[in-house]
Chains A and B, each alone.
Chain A
């Protein structure tokens, strides 16, 4: 589009299916075709030399014109596909996509602009923007829900810790009173009642210890351990002897491999064996023995508890060591609330060890906790 137009060319440009505008560097309109004039609702005479191109834009468009359009034209000499909204004389907004070229002929700068009304593109884009916003809101909401759930879970875990801690005092009072009663003259049925009370106290005590360990492992720095030099075989043998009394009528056998010296927390090992044997007794077959093997190798030592019986169902294998996981077929007589294996794993971890499990129909189920022989002192 030259500055000198034949009447015929001007007529063609006037009827062109896009808006055409020429402005000075500052934006003053030098010429506009009829299509553009019609789109913005002004007579050509009302635009030429009377209005700046940017004054036809919305305020946002004017700022964009100043901060992006003008410097870009200056530096690059052209821009394309910029979408700005024009304000029609009747105040309605008309979105247009714009291309522009800057001509600098001997110091006289002319900017030529082609404009296309873009209603549909505008509508579509606005829908896209809206759906992106909605998506962002959803993501935020989800994150908030997630954080809330985490907070609630944490609160619940803290509550468990507090309650189990505080339950120890009333329980101790009951235990003391039971032993006082036991010192007196008791009938056979009274004697039986007291024994039942004592067994119930023991179960409750184990539950509380498990819960305290659970909260310590989850909310604190992990389970506390106090390691020292000890003979693994002796510690495990002692535990096994105690456990035999807890499971009358069941067989529990202990095997030793290697010499027994290692560095570990004896009390925690007793707890670990207790939990594993309890599981073996609960879930294993009742007519085959539960085997406990303590083994000390060159660099590691391990404790393994094996039972025969149906294997661990596939669907709970993945979460076996997570708290609140219980096997099928567990009865209310089991002392655990589903913390046994979680605590076993935490005991192993606290001493730099790990727990593995093999469970098949043919070989039964074997849990093995393996530790470095010289555990780091905590």
Chain B
């Protein structure tokens, strides 16, 4: 069953169809928020809130964009709201269990590298970070990112460009 059919069924109150849609997009939403917040607890909360909002508002989805685009815009706004509410977005970056390195030496090097990258990402302004994550990790088109961030395509390109310049500078060892 394709996405359109699932959406149609979900909008008519079919729980199984809605479950399928949410399950198919779960990893993507979770990964997006995890990269955005760098915190697993916050990610779990926001992912769940996103799912709740998607369930209660499924009839409002017009189908003019991919379901994943709609879902990620909910996740993006939920994250933004949680920042506004000052809800525990930790200043300390928590340790994420990402890999099982082969030996201790590798583990130390990788942890250092990961810390550096996480800090680099978290130092970027929220909207630039969102644009970068959506383009770099999920290959969303500029048009889709513009829809999600509710800004013109030109602004998306500028955000991404400045983000790349900052990352380049940070990874080169700059401030």
Do A and B actually bind? no
